[in-house]
Structure 1
Amino acid sequence: MQLLEFEKPIAELERELDKLRAKSTSQDIDMSGDIASMEAKLEETRQRIYKNLTPWQRVQIARHTQRPFTLDYISRAFTDFCELHGDRRIGDDHSMPGGFARIGGRRVVVIGHQKGRDTKENLKRNFGSAHPEGYRKAMRLMKLAEKFGLPVITMIDTPGAYPGIGAEERNIAEAIGYNLREMMMLKVPVIAIVLGEGGSGGALGIGVADKVLMLENAYYSVISPEGCAAILWKHRKHAPEAAEAMKLAAPDLLKLGLVDGVIPEAAGGAHHDHAGTAVALRDAILSNLDELDRLSTGELLDARYAKFRAFGEWEGK
């Protein structure tokens, strides 16, 4: 498994613990005291590191290659998934899968960004950066959800929309802007979950929702820490400082009122427990759907408008 820089002290203690256990077994020596001491030290180190993660460390976890992606959650938290393809204009975008599914017995439409774990899959999924046709496909599926009265669940995990010439030629800005307007007016409940990276307009293109949730180690921001550092400090090496200043981590965004809830992860990140994180995600979705079900269509639309209209308000001291 990919080892992050700040996890190296944990890995070193795990190696030492393995050596002690191997020595105890191979030489038939009672080393229970030393093993217990090392286990206690290992647990203390884990607690110290994982309970005091910096925003930059959370960004690193959000980008971990073994972190569960949209289709992983769909396979674990949803059932009866039927993927739909194409935007009916240009073609299909494999970086934005979506379709009908069930969760907790409820029918929904689920859509999300999808990354790859190796070079071949990343080329197919375009590293999770959707083209214009991806956003147009997402809106086509949302309109289907509205037609059949189904809630919409979106899963955000992208460094940003694809910035290539082809995307510009097919009007990526218009596709995202259109989604922002139309999502605000959808007459069905919408829940968005930031799974890992939530970068720029590429994230917001499927992020206008009645409830915006984040996994504990995800980030959500108008620009990447590296991009911010390159602009303000003229060098990407200042990305950790940028991440701290940008308040892009889930605890900060919850405090600022920009997200509505944080879904807990296993110690060290969701890649350590795919199944447990999927259960937590499913429970959070169902809980929020139950809450939104109590609103009439008019109340739903009014609350959604008020939610986003309040963003950016300045409260003087």
Structure 2
Amino acid sequence: MAHTHSHGEGDANRGRLLAAFSVTALFMVAEVVGGWLSGSLALLADAGHMLTDAAALLMALLAVQFARRKPNARHTFGMLRLTTLAAFVNALALLVITALIVWEAVRRFYQPQPVAGGMMLGIAIAGLLANLLSFWLLHRGSEEKNLNVRAAALHVMGDLLGSVGAIVAALVIMYTGWTPADPILSILVSLLVLRSGWALLRESLHELLEGAPASINVDKLARDITRNIPEVRNVHHLHLWQVGEKPVLTLHVQVIPPHDHDALLHRIHHYLHETCQIAHATVQMEYQACAGHDCDLGAAQEHAHHDHAHAHAHH
């Protein structure tokens, strides 16, 4: 492949997202029409999920597109954060739709509606097949790393459960005529989707609030640098955050004056890359104890004017 690894990955993600979007949008329309004609809330609940799915997939597509843009003077990281923002908006949409469906389901317990079980069953089965196709498309790639593709896959997972729920409700209604099966199953599906939506909301919000990636323990990293690189006496002002899938780090290290400044700097960068996959780190080396009285996390403003000892590496 002529592209770099990540570029090729982005193209693969985009192809899968586009295919999944087309399938989802088509069947969402079928479910809305079917739910309306048959009077089934479980079908409409599923169509509601499919609507957020289609929106999720569209946002994911746009985000993948924006993430390809080169960094510039205004956006020095490029548009990588758009993927996280898309996942966040996506999770909010899931929670809102879930609330609306639960509200309607509760109303239907008090005012039961007639439901055409046969039509409901046919459309629910078609919806299930569409969801299986979308889920398969999304789960073939690097979705473990990409929060956005994972967000889209979560939506489709909710839909899969929604379609199964609608099929079960249709069968119950056809064989017993008991229509409350429809709102009961729409609530069960909503609760499952609520759980995944909430997890996604927390994860994307954590990243938007400059939280450290869950895979890296900041305190342990500081201790390990001091323990594994003999010249390093102390690590402070350590800030770790994530942009897209890229962990970014800045830190001050107090070192015993080395014979070769650049070689020591290279070893620190190499250590960060090997142990934590941090390819973008800014290391400030100091030979004296840090001058700031509160030389700790959160005192970044005091040292914003990094002096000549400031070395920057970006592989």
Same fold (TM over 0.5): no
TM-score, normalising length: structure 2? 0.28
Rg bigger for which structure? 2
The structure richer in helix per residue is: 2
TM-score, normalising length: structure 1? 0.28
